[in-house]
Amino acid sequence: MSQKIFLIGLPGAGKTTLGLDLAVDLGVQFVDLDQDIEKAEKCSIREIFELKGEAHFRQLEKYHLEKVINEIDSFVMATGGGTPCFFDNMEVMQKAGTICYINTPIEEIQMRIEKDTTRPLMKTNTLENLLDQRKEWYRRADHTIQKYKELIAVFKS
């Protein structure tokens, strides 16, 4: 049976960490959308933002999101923090599978990403600003969770 699971949330929320664990537990492939883009473009997300701008990055993100949906039968995907907020990405994910919003407290995220210089939008935005901009999309997820045990319970029940 096909199972396509999308993890959304702020940068540093734990989408990749939780996604890897969930994929192993479910026996499906794990996809990190940002890493997928970096591999295909042969440069970092930060470099794409700096050299070609956010609009170009968002086009790449949409292309790779749809490519994975069309080419891989079952997976857990850690999306970029902004993935659901651009174009019709949220609707595309909703039609393809199940969306889980990783609702990690901002204080916890701040501790995780304080020294991370690879997150391009963290240079110009605070986490609170990003959450304000994105919460309407995040709220449209099928499930909102904070801990791994909540996430695995959704798919193992």
**Residue 97, annotated as binding a ligand:** no
**Residue 82, annotated as binding a ligand:** no
Alpha-carbon distances, residue 18 vs 40, 140, 157 (angstroms): 23, 20, 18
**Residue 12, annotated as binding a ligand:** yes
Long-range contacts of 40-43 (CB under 8 A, 24+ apart): 40/64
The Cα 113–Cα 41 span in angstroms is 24
Q: What's the DSSP call for residue 9?
A: -
**Residue 46, annotated as binding a ligand:** no
How far does the chain reach from its first CA to its final CA, in angstroms?
Answer: 15
Q: Which two tokens stand for residue 105?
A: 């407290």
What backbone phi and psi angles, to 5 degrees, belong to 146? -120, -30
**Residue 140, annotated as binding a ligand:** no
**Residue 58, annotated as binding a ligand:** yes
**Residue 119, annotated as binding a ligand:** yes
**Residue 81, annotated as binding a ligand:** yes
**Residue 34, annotated as binding a ligand:** yes
The Cα 152–Cα 157 span in angstroms is 8
The binding site for ATP comprises 12-17, 119
The binding site for substrate comprises 34, 58, 81, 134
The binding site for Mg(2+) comprises 16
The binding site comprises 12-17, 34, 58, 81, 119, 134
